[in-house]
Structure 1
Amino acid sequence: MGKTKELSKDKIVDLHKGLGYKKISKIFNIPRDTIGSIIRKFKTYRTAANLPGRGRKPTISSRALSNLVRTAKKNCKTCFSGNYKIKLFGHTDQRYKNTIPIVKHEGGSLMMWGCFSEAGTGNLDRVPGIMDSQKYQVILKKNMMPSVDKLNLGDHWIFQHAWLGKRCWSDLKKAVAAQKPSNITELEAFAHEEWAKIPIERRKKLVSTYRKLLLEVIKTKGRSTRY
């Protein structure tokens, strides 16, 4: 693919000796601005090929990179958190498979905050209304340190609000849905019950995936990764 692009650029340069941007643009079906950029590059550097050091620059500072290295080495002492909405039941609920979804059948939802580590699950708490900065601070003050003590993370641990939690919450939502709660009270009770049941194998797999992501980011020095 790269060689094909380079050959196209060379052809554009050759055609420009007798044709204008507009005609070359129609031949290659490429915007005139792109044609102009290629020609200007050739006039400046005497080549249309990609130049070394012209790729995407790292998007991470050396300090942030150091923090990632530290986190990757101490992932077993990392406490992950997240907040997600859990619905009582929605359009896909089998109890209403042959009905038209209306407000009555939607039944409401809860915003829950929770944290976990490889060692276990920490607190799970209900967020009143919509999460904002003040509520988030209250949630952390109320639940963070008790969770750290519960998980025996000691004095040296890292707090990470990460996408990793989405996978954990996906497991929780499926488990709660299987219980078929009929009201908000049951929904919250089942959420706490199933949160405590998330198996250690699942937690270890999630933490391992996160560590691989960190190592990949470190390897690419902040550039895009396959994750």
Structure 2
Amino acid sequence: MRIMRSKELPKELRDRIVARHRSGQGYKRISAALKVPKSTVASIILKWKKFGTTRTLPRPGRPAKLSNRGRRALVREVKKNPKITVAELQRCSREMGESSTKSTITAALHQSGLYGRVARRKPLLSARHMKARIEFAKKNMKDSQTMSNKILWSDETKIELFGVNSKRYVWRKPGTAHHLPNTIPTVKHGGGSIMLWGCFSAAGTGRLVAIEGKMNAAKYRDILEENLFQSAQDLRLGRRFTFQQDNDPKHTAKITKEWLRNNSVTVLDWPSQSPDLNPIEHLWRDLKMAVHQRSPSNLTELERICKEEWQRIPKSRCEKLVASFPRRLMAVLAQKGASTQY
């Protein structure tokens, strides 16, 4: 009678298999003599040759608490909705009949290359926005390297005195932070303590102005009147520079357009919802990090420190950011107009 297949053969039987092998007997003969399947004989002898023992070796680890089917189901849920929470995934797991802990679910997603990361905040782009971004990139790609050095880049930002931005986690693979499902749509200007207008070029930073009260078109025109040409002069851009601004209603208002036209300012035709094309966004990030490291205690001190740190930004940093403009255009084309990694 053949021995029934079990999880493990007795060690004494395994030793007899190896002994017969060492005496010169073949797998088929050993299998017939000891009533053990030939595949089992081969496996035991292979293990003995590799490890020099017939003893049961330690297993590589605990059996997985979540089946492969369960893990694949969770990965599908995450791909459908990257913003799904672990608690929601737990409910999905229970519905599949595999109740799992949060740590088990997290480990399973890690095995599939998915990690919880803070979702990037990106502007909400419509089909019209993406089309305009593609047209802008194609139009300016050819001369982007030379033209970018003659651009005076500008923008407004708000800096909080004690600011902590809200965060939202998503499950994503490395290198996919800018993909649309992994981002949080935002509208411009989310709040803060003081509002600033600033400009810069490849030659360095221009003026930085604190805006008193509510910003409107008239106030914006006054800022340009007092700071635009002085900044261009300080940065040695000459009169034939190109001015960059976004499509905020204050920038496109009638009185603003009239002032720019009357002063013969060449304005870059800018696509809406495109902060990733403007390298000044990275300068704002540099500024906020430097300012908050100095821990200003009041608004007056905050404004003073902002202006000090703005002037300390090295020219090399500005040059590097402006030099990234051609790559930003290429990234827009590669993303078919969607948000990029910048």
Range into which the TM-score falls when normalised by the shorter chain: 0.5 to 0.7
* Separation in 1, partners of 2:136, 2:290: 40
Q: Which one of the candidate residues 175, 182, 185 is aligned to 2:300?
A: 185
Contact 1:77 1:157 in 2 (8 A): yes
- In the other structure, the counterpart of 1:109 is 193
Deviates more, 1:109-118 or 1:153-162: 153-162
Give a deviation string over 1:68-125, Cα, whole Å, max 9, x none.
Answer: 6445432111111110001111358xxxxxxxxxxxxxxx711000000110110000
> 2:162 matched to which residue of 1?
89
- Report the CA distance between 1:156 and its aligned residue: 2.0
Equivalent residue for 1:130, pick from 211, 214, 236: 214
- Give the paired residue count: 155
Q: What are the equivalent positions in structure 2 for 1:181-220 lying under 5 Å apart? A: 181-215=296-330, 220=333
C-alpha spacing 1:225/1:88, structure 2 compared with 1 (3 Å): closer
User: Paired residue for 2:232?
Assistant: 148
- With normalisation by structure 1, the TM-score equals 0.59
Q: Is the 8 A contact 2:205 2:315 kept in 1?
A: no
Gaps of 5+ in 1: 1-55, 93-107
Q: How does 1:48-127 map to 2 (within 5 A)?
A: 59-60=131-132, 65-66=138-139, 69-91=142-164, 109-127=193-211
> What letter matches 1:77 in structure 2?
K
Could you tell me whether the CA contact under 8 Å between 1:80 and 1:161 is conserved in 2?
yes
Q: Determine which structure has greater relative contact order: mean sequence separation of CA pairs < 8 Å that are 6+ residues apart, divided by chain length.
A: 1
- How far, CA to CA, are the matches of 1:79 and 1:127 in structure 2? 19
Greater C-alpha radius of gyration: 2
**Secondary structure in 1 matching 2:297:** coil
d(CA) in 2 for partners of 1:89, 1:62: 40
Shift of 1:170: 0.8
Question: SS at 1:149's partner residue?
Answer: helix
By how many angstroms is 1:131 displaced? 2.3
* Residues 122-180 of structure 1: CA deviation (Å, up to 9, x unaligned): 00001122322222222111111000000000122111126222211011011111111
- Tell me the distance in 1 between the aligned counterparts of 2:163 and 2:203: 33
Aligned to 1:224: 337
> Following TM superposition, by how much is the alpha carbon of 1:195 offset from its aligned partner in structure 2, in angstroms?
0.1
Partners of 1:84 and 1:113 within 8 A in 2: yes
The separation in 1 between residues aligned to 2:194 and 2:136, in whole angstroms, is: 38
1:62 shift after superposition: 7.4
What secondary structure does 1:211 align onto?
helix
SS of the residue corresponding to residue 287 of structure 2 reads helix
Distance 1:161 1:211, change over 3 A: farther
Distance 1:205 1:185, change over 3 A: same
| Closer, same or farther: CA 109–62 of 1 in aligned 2, 3 Å | closer
Secondary structure in 1 matching 2:305: helix
Partner of 1:172, secondary structure, is helix
1:198 to partner: Cα distance = 0.8
Summarize the Cα distance change of 1:158–1:71 in structure 2 as closer, same or farther, 3 Å threshold: farther
Find the aligned partners of 2:200 and 2:315 in 1 and give their Cα distance: 11
Unaligned runs of 5+ residues in structure 2 are 1-126, 166-191, 247-274
Contact 2:201 2:235 in 1 (8 A): yes
Give secondary structure in 2 for the equivalent of 1:171. helix
Offset at 1:65?
A: 4.9
